[in-house]
Structure 1
Amino acid sequence: MNQKYEECLKACNECLEACNKCYDACLRENHVKMMVECIRLDRACADACAFAIQAMTSNSPFMKKICQLCAEICERCADECAKHDHEHCQRCAESCRKCAKACREMSMYVS
């Protein structure tokens, strides 16, 4: 459990950072209107990761559900970011997929 916990915390932190960087970079793109859904999902994903981190570090009784929700949001964000060729979007999609996997695994170990 401790290894899964540490892996999930690390993945959530990395994903939160990648989403914030992607969000900021998307706002500076020439065609911001094309990036609206990416920007929205970056924000939602960063917030979900922060919520999952809080749930794990406080041993919340809702940790399992929160990690499952975080995984779902990360997958949606990854799918959207993957549609864009920008390097920041591709890095974000990769971090989101890694986080989704870690959160799903974490939720299997929590009762």
Structure 2
Amino acid sequence: MSYEKCIQECQACVAACQECLYEMATGDSNNDCPKCCIECSDICELCAKAMARGSKYTEQYCQMCAEICDWCADQCEQHEHDHCRKCAKACRTCAESCRSMAGATA
């Protein structure tokens, strides 16, 4: 099974979350952004690594990644900043791909 597309989407999500985290570091937030970006970036990186090595836990990584990406997208969508919107979009794309991978590996 090829995980290439999902790995790329996880990596894109890491980049978007890191940008959002950096931009929000000095700003006020009325929700869990930028905290969610830390969690999301970390799980996306772990998920991509798990897929790259063909881990027997890929399904679990992908499922958790999808859940955290959805949470992060929910938080970032509440802000009007371009970096938050970009992050939310990357999170939604990654979540969809990871859910697909989780189902495909079952």
Match of 2:19? 21
Question: How does the TM-score come out when normalised to structure 1?
Answer: 0.91
Unaligned runs of 5+ residues in structure 1 are none
- CA offset at residue 36 of structure 1? 5.9
Q: Distance in 2 between matches of 1:96 and 1:57?
A: 19
Distance change (3 Å), C-alpha of 1:36 and 1:79? closer
* Separation in 2, partners of 1:101, 1:49: 13
2:78 is aligned with 1:83:
yes
Identity %: 38
Gaps of 5+ in 2: none
- Structure 1 vs Structure 2 CA RMSD: 1.1
Equivalences for residues 30-41 of structure 1 within 5 A: 32=28, 34=29, 37-41=32-36
Moved over 2 A (4+): none
Separation (CA, whole Å) in 1 of partners of 2:31 and 2:67? 19
